[in-house]
């Protein structure tokens, strides 16, 4: 017994392929049916699949894999839902809010450090050694950092501490300690 191609209507193809019948109808508009029976048109699966999954004007090797694309869509939808849940639970903060908070904290940090020279200058007059001056400057910088660290919205990270160490080293070098 020879196997013959099965004939499919658009509704049958919709059920088998899991694609809306209107989408199938649009995509196979140029496909010639193998037969027509009243209003119903019958197609070969091979013709329909070629029309559905190969973009017009593309080569055979550039086929669109329906199941891969469907999986990508499903993953994107799941990722979007996950982000929505994280926003609702407060785990995700909009980037503009983070940028604004960081800008405020950076300005506060800059203002505190820029205030150090005027606070330190009176204490440096009449000192005998650069080591004494360095200790006073270091203590004022540490005080400024401690004030900022007490702010619940400000957290020092490793890079910020490394920058402070570089500033302290530059001050030591400048005053000859």
pLDDT, tens only, 151-164: 655 554 555 666 66
The strand pairing partners of 24, in sequence order, are none
**Helix axes 130-150 and 95-124, enclosed angle (nearest 10):** 150
Q: What is the mean pLDDT of the chain?
A: 78
Q: Are 102 and 82 in contact (CB under 8 A)?
A: no
* CATH 1.10.1660.10 correct for 1-53: yes
Q: Are strands 40-44 and 7-8 parallel, antiparallel or unpaired?
A: antiparallel
The DSSP line for 114-151 is HHHHHHHHHHHTT-S-HHHHHHHHHHHHHHHHHHHHHS
Question: What's the order of all strands across the beta sheet hosting 35-37?
Answer: 7-8, 40-44, 35-37
Q: What is the pTM of this model?
A: 0.36
Range 135-149 average pLDDT = 77
Q: Could you tell me how far CA 176 lies from the centroid of its own chain?
A: 47
Residue 77's pLDDT band (cuts 50, 70, 90): very high
pLDDT, tens only, 2-39: 788 888 898 998 898 888 889 888 888 888 898 898 88
The strand pairing partners of 87, in sequence order, are none
pLDDT value of residue 175 = 66
**Which of 105-119, 132-146, 147-161 comes out lowest in average pLDDT?**
147-161
Give the DSSP H/E element, type plus range, for residue 8.
strand 7-8
Beta strands in 39-174, from DSSP E residues, in sequence order? 40-44
């Amino acid at each position: 017994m020879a196997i013959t191609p099965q004939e499919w209507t658009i509704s049958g193809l919709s059920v088998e392929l899991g694609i809306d019948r209107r989408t199938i109808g649009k995509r196979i508009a140029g496909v010639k049916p193998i037969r027509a029976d009243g209003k119903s048109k019958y197609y070969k699966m091979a013709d329909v699949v070629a029309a559905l999954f190969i973009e017009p004007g593309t080569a055979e090797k550039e086929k669109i894999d329906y199941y891969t694309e469907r999986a990508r869509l499903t993953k994107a939808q799941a990722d979007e839902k996950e982000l929505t849940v994280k926003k609702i639970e407060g785990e995700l903060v909009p980037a503009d809010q983070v940028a604004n908070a960081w800008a405020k904290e950076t300005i506060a940090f800059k203002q505190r450090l820029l205030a150090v020279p005027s606070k330190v200058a009176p204490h440096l007059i009449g000192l005998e050694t650069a080591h004494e001056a360095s200790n006073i400057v270091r203590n004022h910088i540490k005080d400024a950092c401690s004030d900022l660290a007490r702010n619940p919205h400000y957290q020092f990270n490793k890079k910020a501490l490394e920058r402070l160490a570089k500033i302290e080293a530059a001050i030591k070098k400048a005053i000859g300690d």
